[in-house]
Amino acid sequence: MARSGIRYEDVKDAAETLLGRGLNPTIQRIRELLGTGSNTTISDHLKSWQQQLADAPKIVLPPTVPETVMTALDAFWKIAVQQAEAAFEEQRTLARQTVTVAEQARDVALTAQQQAQAEAAEINLQLEAAQTTSRDLADRLLVEQERRTAAETAIQAAEQRVQAATDAIAQIRAETAARIAQAEAALQQIRADMAQQAIEAQHRFEAERQRGEAGEARLMQLLDGVRTEQTIERQAFATERLDWKNRETTWQARLEIQQREQADIRATLATAEERQQNFAHEIEALRPLLHQAEARYLETVREEETLRGELKAVLAERDRLQQQLEARPAPLSLNDAPAVINVDGKSPPDNPV
């Protein structure tokens, strides 16, 4: 059955036009004249037109037409119909041969295409595997870099803590030394003052004793007065001595307080030194981890370089296969072959130009 697209009237008009030009209306000429349409559709319409011409009643000429002319016209018509049928059979045979060749070429092209698709699929699988491995290595490298960064950050923080502790220890030592120097200076000043007061008191006592010896007679006379004065002097000296003892006690208490503060400072210094030692131990413990992270990082870099080389080899192989695939002859398209009637008598699909 003829498909829609090219109408019977179009084929009929084209055939009559070709006859008017003195040409045999073949399928190829009708298709060139119309500029479109499949060979199957044109063949069906052309056969119907030829059948209608064969079945049409002969033209009755006027009685004035000689019988010889009528005989010639009838013979010419029969010859034209026979030539049209012979041309149609020739075109049908040629179309069948063309279809056979086209089907063979199509089978070869499909086989080559399937093989190329299989090779391309295998290459894509290899490429995806290489890309997956590369992504895994990139993730591992990122994790190792993060670990290394964390380790370096921890070491820097520990070093900062050690530096802060060292500065604090130095400051505490300076403050302690200043306080000790101040306390020792104050104690020496107190001792010097007490020694000076004792010397002055001894000098006064010696002077009084010398005056007593020189003026023993006068002292005897003034014994009561002198004893009274001595008693007053002794009381004053005792009071002054007691005052100095109280002051010494006060300074001694202050010294004890300073000694306690010094002990506290020494304890703080010992704690700071212990913290410094702990920080040093932490740094020593972190150094092997840093070395391990660096070793893992170098190993990951080497693995990544190896996989990059494998990936380059796979990509080069894919390019080589792609070039081989492109270098193969292009398969024939069914659009390039003329659409004709198949061997089994069925009409192939239309292939409009």
Q: Could you tell me if residue 35 is left (phi over 0), alpha (psi between -120 and 50 degrees) or otherwise beta?
A: left
Domain limits, the chain: 8-113
Task: Classify residue 338 by its DSSP letter.
Answer: P
CA distances from 3 to 7, 37, 44, 212, 309 (A): 9, 10, 9, 166, 59
- Cβ(306)–Cβ(133) below 8 Å: no
Task: Tell me the average pLDDT of the chain.
Answer: 78
Average pLDDT over every residue of 304-317? 87
Taking 50 as the threshold, does the pLDDT of residue 338 lie above it?
no
pLDDT digits (tens, 9 = 90+) for 237-250: 788 888 878 888 98
Average pLDDT over every residue of 302-322? 86
pLDDT digits (tens, 9 = 90+) for 237-292: 788 888 878 888 987 888 889 888 888 878 887 887 888 888 788 878 888 887 88
- In which band, very low, low, confident or very high, does the pLDDT at 149 lie, cut at 50, 70 and 90? confident
pLDDT score of 116: 81
Asked which of 83-97, 119-133, 241-255 is least confident by mean pLDDT, the reply is: 83-97
pLDDT score of 344: 46
